[in-house]
Structure 1
Amino acid sequence: MKLIAGNSNRRLSEAICERLGTSLAKAEIKTFKDGEVFVEIQENVRGEDVFVIQSTSQPANDNLMELLITQDALSRASASRITAVLPYFGYARQDRKAGPRTPISAKLVANLITTAGADRVLTVDLHAGQIQGFFDIPTDNLYAVKEFDRRIREIYNGDIEQVTVVSPDVGGVVRARALAKRLKDRPLAIVDKRREGPGLSEVMNIIGDVKDRHCVIFDDIVDSGGTLCNAAEALMQKGAKSVAACITHGVLSDHAEKRIMASEAMTRLLVTDSIEARPGVAECPKIEQVSIATLLAEAIRRIANEESVSSLFD
């Protein structure tokens, strides 16, 4: 087994290796001055089971090309199996035709990854579970709910009975219910909102009782943070005692950390390290990273040893 890291999230790749008791394989992945990506695998991988760890986060296109070209290099170097490990799968929000003459970019990216030589895909909290069907190769979609479960119990400790899990929209109810079930079947609330345009939303109503409760919003992606702060404000107006959020993928674009910091309603934001935190995000006192290195390391170990991965989904 060999692990190769792209440049998108080197810190997470090293943490995965540490938990597996190994080190990253030697490879040079760089970009020429004109923007072209160059990859050279600097050790023998013939007949090896190789895992390429690369989040296709910002800059999404550069990181995607690094992944594709690395897979091609490994395929031409006669690796026996190539697993694309995508802690964050970019383009996942473009999973359907949202209007006439629009692409299904998630399917296109899935095709590119497969064509470039991937034999298997390992990812975390896809925006929509059906994206697994876009791949014609085995795909494992892990869930970060266990990691959030542990951290929430530490934060609220003896006050866990006062926690209510909140879905930021109707579509996220299944995800939120999974966390609520793990937290001793905590109550569930839903934010009913109307989306006026891309990246814009207006909170309309709160479904469920949140008065005098510690509300924990649970979702898969936080981008600009505007919707999240609006939801937190609406919950506080309904009498919530406090509002925190657990979001798997902290895209946090367009100075989102400043919005989170300025929000009086939002007390804490937990995100995983599926996307490497920018300096501004890493320094924000309201934002905390929860590592998924152990989760990914265990999945990689089981795949390499041909063991069951399904128990990690529970």
Structure 2
Amino acid sequence: MRKCKVFVGNSHSELGELICSKLGIEPAPCTLKKFSNGETSVQIGVSVRDEDVYVIQSGSEDINDHIMELLIMVSACRGGSAKKITAVIPQFPYSKQSKMKKHRGAITARMLANLLVMAGADHIISMDLHASQMQGFFTKPVDNLYGAASLGKWIKEHVEDYTNAVVVSKNPGGTKRVTGLADSLKINFAMIHTDRRRGDNDFLATKMKKQQVPSHSRRQSVVGRRRSSAKKEDADEEEELIYSNGLQTARVVQGHVVGDDYIAEEAVDESAISVDSDQEESIPNDQTSYALGGTYDAADSDEEYEPEAPEKLITLVGNVKGRSVIILDDMIDRPSSFIAAAEHCRLNCGATKVYIAATHGLFIDNCLEELEACPYIDQVIVTNTYPITEKKKQCKKLVTIDVSSIFAECIRRDHYGESISVLFDKIASGI
């Protein structure tokens, strides 16, 4: 590739070298170091005048230092009169902060996009952005590649009887991603909803007491209401039909699925609770309710911004009985929601195997160790967009898929002015 230079940052040098190897070139020389006072220093070791420059820098554990390194490298290439500068960011940092989670919060992903453009980036290449609307943060072109092709290929080759498998979204926010993979593989999909906002003790105790009513008593109560009201009869029949066609609900306490007979250590005083089976359940006062029965930011899928409740309700919408389950998300950072979803699918819904699949394997703290220790998770599949330490690579359940060829082909097509959408078409047809 003539008139082209590829610089590799320190965040994920292994992936950068693999991309250069696929392109058949050597990484351009540059000196990246830090001064004694903590400042980042970048020295470009080759002329970039009137050349296409690609700077490869992904997310990492030292994210803030590597962001500054990326910005300084882009600025140095701009100062060196580069013709075009493309920032290749396989895992875009701060992508979970792409919208305002709380009042007086910051949309940090947009701020980072502005910093990249101001530093001199003319083009951005990334993979599986946490939110597709992030492309609108940039005033420059953005190519958002997809890791579903690599994941789908692995599923076809390694999941037994994959045609009967079910792709499951662990939260409503990921349904679009799940349906895309399910359509490509021509298999079914399902969704898990976790009610995190029911943290009021009285409300939870009322819910628990209602769940503990024997099923024959509930049926007698339903029959009585059907006799008393013709309008309620149709609603009850519809509710019973929905329940019998794929709605399985369970309790989650401290991140694990428990049975209906489980009693929490901090029991609620039942004398202070009055239960009326014919009365509508009241919404806790600390919630902000909106029209159509929703609550503030109900589609949110980021766990770290949710208030921690003593007990949650997890519901699977779909049928996974006797089938393999593939729980798909864009990244794996914390294990609690994946473990709860796997336990619910195996213990309550009859799934035979559970695979956890994602594009970015962040594995914060002991995330990977907890996923490996869970007996209901068979394998964890991620790509190499995010650096994985040698210790984590020793995990027996971990499978890492190389996506360097996708980035290399994207860089080659961009350098020669070829269509990137054709690359997407070829990837989609290869699943």
TM band (smaller chain): over 0.9
Question: 1:219 and 1:304 mapped to 2: Cα distance?
Answer: 31
Pick aligned residue for 1:50 from 49, 53, 57? 53
Q: Percentage identity across aligned positions? A: 38
One-letter code aligned to 1:74? C
Q: Look up the match of 1:241.
A: 352
Question: 1:246 and 1:95 mapped to 2: Cα distance?
Answer: 22
Q: Look up the match of 2:170.
A: 168
- When normalised by structure 1's length, the TM-score is 0.96
Q: What SS does the corresponding residue of 1:127 show, helix, strand or coil?
A: coil
Q: Look up the match of 2:370.
A: 259
Task: Report matched runs for 1:1-314 at 5 Å.
Answer: 1-156=4-159, 159-183=161-185, 185-195=186-196, 198=304, 202=312, 204-237=314-347, 238-314=349-425
Deviation at 1:34, TM superposition (A): 2.2
Is the contact made by 2:60 and 2:386 (CA closer than 8 Å) also made in structure 1?
A: yes
Question: 1:102 and 1:94 mapped to 2: Cα distance?
Answer: 9
Question: 2:193 and 2:414 mapped to 1: Cα distance?
Answer: 40
One-letter code aligned to 1:290? I
Is the contact made by 1:210 and 1:239 (CA closer than 8 Å) also made in structure 2?
A: yes
Deviation at 1:203, TM superposition (A): 5.4
Listed as ranges, the gaps of 5+ residues in structure 2 are: 198-302, 426-431
CA spacing shift, 1:211–1:199, aligned 2, 3 Å: farther
Question: 2:334 and 2:159 mapped to 1: Cα distance?
Answer: 27
Question: 1:4 and 1:57 mapped to 2: Cα distance?
Answer: 17
Task: Give CA deviations for 1:287-312 in whole Å, capped at 9, x if unaligned.
Answer: 11111101101100011001100123
Question: 1:270 and 1:83 mapped to 2: Cα distance?
Answer: 29
Is the contact made by 2:95 and 2:129 (CA closer than 8 Å) also made in structure 1?
A: yes
- When normalised by structure 2's length, the TM-score is 0.71
Is the contact made by 1:167 and 1:191 (CA closer than 8 Å) also made in structure 2?
A: yes
One-letter code aligned to 2:169? S
Is the contact made by 1:203 and 1:230 (CA closer than 8 Å) also made in structure 2?
A: no
Structure 1 segments, 4+ long, off by >6 Å, are none
Q: How many residues align?
A: 312
One-letter code aligned to 2:355? A
Deviation at 1:231, TM superposition (A): 1.0
Is the contact made by 2:357 and 2:381 (CA closer than 8 Å) also made in structure 1?
A: yes
* Larger CA Rg, structure 1 vs 2: 2
Deviation at 1:156, TM superposition (A): 1.9
Task: Give CA deviations for 1:136-195 in whole Å, capped at 9, x if unaligned.
Answer: 0000000001101111111125x1222111111111111111111121x10101011134
